């Protein structure tokens, strides 16, 4: 069973100053999880997690992760600016973007960020933009084809389609990019790849690591370049459904260590640092979207209308993603009703749940939508003139801190020319 990290009485207290809907994050959970990740890769002295800012671009969250020793992975100008204001600098920033505008490369270089190049043509674009290439630079690899793992009775454990993805360079381009960058003055190289999203398997990172370690060993031999780090990127997932098993980060770290010992150490690359760029794994389970039921409707189906909508959490509308729902105060009530839980957008995909078995819900009930800490608030938008919600932090001492106020109509109108 998925248990919310806050109670009905806590929400009632919060609602006195901050109406629903709001996103709230669990500081204790974030810190414990970040420490577990760090422990899992403690065998690698250079290890660093670069939190994918796009998952939760909120200074109050980035500051917690900085205190836990994480860097940031940015992919846009404003993410770089926010990271700088939070106190990240130099090697604490990874810049993994694609179709990158020149001004973003300029800011990344000014901050001393590690730039991860998405394409072979970006080598000369970067050189032209900066008038030089950085001493340390990373290249994004795309092996093409279909990436599969663990064929079992129900099909593959993990399956994704790098051959259809717009990201990264081919194998020959990677070697070409290294060679060209070296000629332009680069000295230390990294290799990055992101082959599958939201994997629920302890085998994804080790399999990716094997592929990248072998690629690194070959590329180092073929080009004479010094490979300084391997960036395993994001993709370690979380169990959105209550019946899914969680990944075990200690097992994942150990799997990567074994691949490291088997491939990199014999290739003379035993000093390579391992980087990760996790977003979802770092934050998703430690965020709730809290919303109040405001209407019930009985037509051909039973509907519960809530005060949040898809602008607050887009994943169900966009991907048909499952997010578990708990009705606060009714945790132990029988789930003997079947509802569509819906928001107020004039879009029929604005449904947080379809045909979901839940306890009886009446207007005024508070619902927690689980696992919204990553790619939740951050994918928000203003369709139908809807406003972005507040973001709150539940501190380990039980107090609640405002991280971002809710938008007002004035915010919505601020960019208009009347």
Ligand X SMILES: *Cc1c(COP(=O)(O)O)cnc(C)c1O
| Binding residues for ligand X (CB under 6 A) | 52, 54-55, 73, 75, 96, 194, 197-198, 233-235, 277-281, 374
Q: Tell me the closest approach of the beta carbon of residue 155 to ligand X, in angstroms.
A: 21
The percent helix, strand, coil of the chain (3-state, each to 5) is: 35, 25, 40
CA dist list (Å): 77 to 66, 84, 190, 415: 20, 11, 22, 19
Nearer to ligand X, 278 or 366 (CB): 278
Nearer to ligand X, 122 or 280 (CB): 280
Distance CA 374, CA 156 (A): 25
Coil vs helix vs strand at 297:
strand
No. of helices (H) and no. of strands (E), the chain: 12, 19
Q: Tell me the closest approach of the beta carbon of residue 139 to ligand X, in angstroms.
A: 13
Q: Which residues pair with 337 in a beta bridge?
A: 358
Tokens describing residue 151:
């064929």
Nearer to ligand X, 119 or 365 (CB): 119
- Which string of DSSP letters, residue by residue, matches 302-334? EEEEES--TTT--HHHHH-----EEETT-TTS-
Q: Tell me the closest approach of the beta carbon of residue 89 to ligand X, in angstroms.
A: 20
Q: Tell me the closest approach of the beta carbon of residue 278 to ligand X, in angstroms.
A: 4
CA torsion, ordered 195, 200, 204, 205, to nearest 10 deg: 100
Nearer to ligand X, 134 or 343 (CB): 134
Nearer to ligand X, 68 or 277 (CB): 277
Nearer to ligand X, 66 or 375 (CB): 375
Distance CA 290, CA 208 (A): 36
Nearer to ligand X, 63 or 197 (CB): 197
Nearer to ligand X, 193 or 306 (CB): 193
Q: Tell me the closest approach of the beta carbon of residue 227 to ligand X, in angstroms.
A: 19
Nearer to ligand X, 280 or 315 (CB): 280
CA torsion, ordered 190, 115, 375, 287, to nearest 10 deg: 80
Nearer to ligand X, 14 or 236 (CB): 236
Please report the sign of the dihedral spanned by the C-alpha atoms of residue 148, residue 263, residue 231, residue 32: positive
Q: Tell me the closest approach of the beta carbon of residue 261 to ligand X, in angstroms.
A: 25
Query: How many other CB atoms are found less than 10 A from the CB of residue 71?
Result: 24
Q: Tell me the closest approach of the beta carbon of residue 159 to ligand X, in angstroms.
A: 16
Q: Which residues pair with 199 in a beta bridge?
A: 236
CA torsion, ordered 34, 36, 38, 41, to nearest 10 deg: -140
Q: Tell me the closest approach of the beta carbon of residue 231 to ligand X, in angstroms.
A: 8
- List of residues 6+ apart from 68 with CB closer than 8 A: 30, 31, 34, 35, 38
Q: Tell me the closest approach of the beta carbon of residue 98 to ligand X, in angstroms.
A: 8
Residue nearest to ligand X (CB): 234
Tokens describing residue 60:
């109050």
Q: Tell me the closest approach of the beta carbon of residue 313 to ligand X, in angstroms.
A: 15
Distance CA 263, CA 274 (A): 14
Which burial class, exposed, middle or buried, applies to 264 when counting CB atoms under 10 A from its CB (0-12, 13-18, 19+)? buried
């Amino acid at each position: 069973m998925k248990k919310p990290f806050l109670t009905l009485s806590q929400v009632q207290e919060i609602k006195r100053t901050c109406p629903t809907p709001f996103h709230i994050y669990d500081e204790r959970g974030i810190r414990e999880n970040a420490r577990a990740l760090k422990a899992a890769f403690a065998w690698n002295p250079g290890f660093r997690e670069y939190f994918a800012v796009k998952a939760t671009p909120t200074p109050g969250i980035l500051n917690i992760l900085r205190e836990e020793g994480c860097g940031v992975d940015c992919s846009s100008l404003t993410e770089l600016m926010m990271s700088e204001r939070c106190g990240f600098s130099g090697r604490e920033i990874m810049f993994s973007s694609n179709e990158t505008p020149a001004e973003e490369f300029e800011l990344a270089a000014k901050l001393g960020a590690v730039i991860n190049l998405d394409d072979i043509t970006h080598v000369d674009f970067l050189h032209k933009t900066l008038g030089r290439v950085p001493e340390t630079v990373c290249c994004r690899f795309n092996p093409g084809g279909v990436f599969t793992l663990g064929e079992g009775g129900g099909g593959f454990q993990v399956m994704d389609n790098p051959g259809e993805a717009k990201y990264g360079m081919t194998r020959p381009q990677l070697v070409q990019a290294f060679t060209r960058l070296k000629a332009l003055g680069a000295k230390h190289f990294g290799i990055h790849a992101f082959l599958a999203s939201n994997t629920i398997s302890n085998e994804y990172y080790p399999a990716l690591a094997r592929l990248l370690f072998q690629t690194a060993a070959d590329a180092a031999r073929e080009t004479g370049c010094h490979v300084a780090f391997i960036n395993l990127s994001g993709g370690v997932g979380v169990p959105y459904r209550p019946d899914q098993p969680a990944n075990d980060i200690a097992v994942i770290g150990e799997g990567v260590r074994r691949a490291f010992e088997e491939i990199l150490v014999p290739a003379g690359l035993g000093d390579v640092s391992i980087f990760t760029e996790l977003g979802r794994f770092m934050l998703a389970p430690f965020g709730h979207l809290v919303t109040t039921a405001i209407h019930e409707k009985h037509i051909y189906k039973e509907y519960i209308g809530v005060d949040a909508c898809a602008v607050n959490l887009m994943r169900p509308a966009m991907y048909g993603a499952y997010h578990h729902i708990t009705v606060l105060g009714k945790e132990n009530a029988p789930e003997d009703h079947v509802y569509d839980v819906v928001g107020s957008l004039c879009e029929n995909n604005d449904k947080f749940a379809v045909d979901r078995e839940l306890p009886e819900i009446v207007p005024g009930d508070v619902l927690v939508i689980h696992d919204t800490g990553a790619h939740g608030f951050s994918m928000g938008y203003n369709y139908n003139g809807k406003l972005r919600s507040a973001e709150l932090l539940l501190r380990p001492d039980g107090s609640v801190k405002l991280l971002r106020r809710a938008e007002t109509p004035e915010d919505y109108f601020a960019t208009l020319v009347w």
